[in-house]
Chain A
């Protein structure tokens, strides 16, 4: 069974703090993703990575950065947290190859509140 583990279920941070959200997958997947989920807006892609040290911007990368130093770990960084970044953050992974065949596996999510 594929496991995507996000380090925290709930986080509370203050405006201006630097925030790290960690995600680890145990299935040797090439691809990893960060989404944010907001009511009425669905899931929106922030960043993704096809391989170690590679990253691609998604639809809403502003205010975020990512790091992928090891294949199994993909970190989302909020350099200076703001209240509009209060959200549920979902990490996902998928195997490489034909994207029609490779389904994404999601973590449980991190609910971040920025005060």
Chain B
């Protein structure tokens, strides 16, 4: 069975600081990887995803994530955060079998940006 670990439960940063949120997954086969974001009072929405090709994936709002297969990791990064990045971030994984829609989420990381 697949599982996802997000070790940072709550991260507090000042504006312009660099961000890295950790995500590690457990699954022996090929995976698809996702980061979702939930801004205060809003729907959960897709930030970026990896399913094949270049392991460095760029998403919306200047976010990127790198898939490192040997480390089973898919960490989220942003070089300079803004107050508007305050949100909860969820890493998710599914096994890359055709027709498999079962997405497993991590427990989430709450990010607070101080102006």
Residues of A bordering B, CB below 8 Å: 4, 31, 33, 35, 40-45, 48, 50, 56, 58-59, 90, 92, 94, 98-104, 106-109
Q: Tell me the bound Cα distance from A29 to B55 in angstroms.
A: 28
Q: Which secondary structure dominates where chain B touches chain A?
A: loop
- B92-115 CB mask vs A (1 if < 8 Å, else 0) is 101011111111111110000000
Distance of A109 Cα from B49 Cα, bound (Å): 23
Report the count of interface residues on B (CB-CB < 8 A). Answer: 28
* Cβ contact of A107, chosen from B9, B43, B51, B101, cutoff 8 A: B43
The residue in chain A whose Cβ has the minimal distance to the Cβ of B33 is A100
Judge if B32 is at the interface, Cβ distance under 8 Å.
yes
B16 is an interface residue with CB less than 8 A from chain A: no
Known contacts A31-B101, A41-B107, A48-B102; is A103 also within 8 Å of B9 by CB?
no
- For the complex formed, measure the closest distance between the CB of A44 and the CB atoms of chain B, giving whole angstroms: 7
Cβ–Cβ contact A100 & B102, under 8 A? no
Determine if A106 and B44 form an interchain contact, defined as CB atoms under 8 angstroms apart.
yes
CA A50 – CA B107 in complex, angstroms? 25
* A43 with B105: CB separation less than 8 A: yes
Choose among B42, B44, B94 the residue that contacts A99 (Cβ–Cβ < 8 A): B94
Q: Which one, B43, B49, B102, B104, contacts A106 given CB within 8 A?
A: B43
Question: Which residues of chain B have C-beta atoms less than 8 A from A106's C-beta?
Answer: 43-45
Q: If A42-B90, A99-B98 touch, does A104 touch B103 (CB 8 Å cutoff)?
A: yes
Query: Is the pair B32, A43 in contact by a Cβ cutoff of 8 Å?
Result: no
Q: Is B74 an interface residue (CB 8 A)?
A: no
Q: Chain B CB within 10 Å — which of A42, A90, A103, A104 has the most?
A: A42
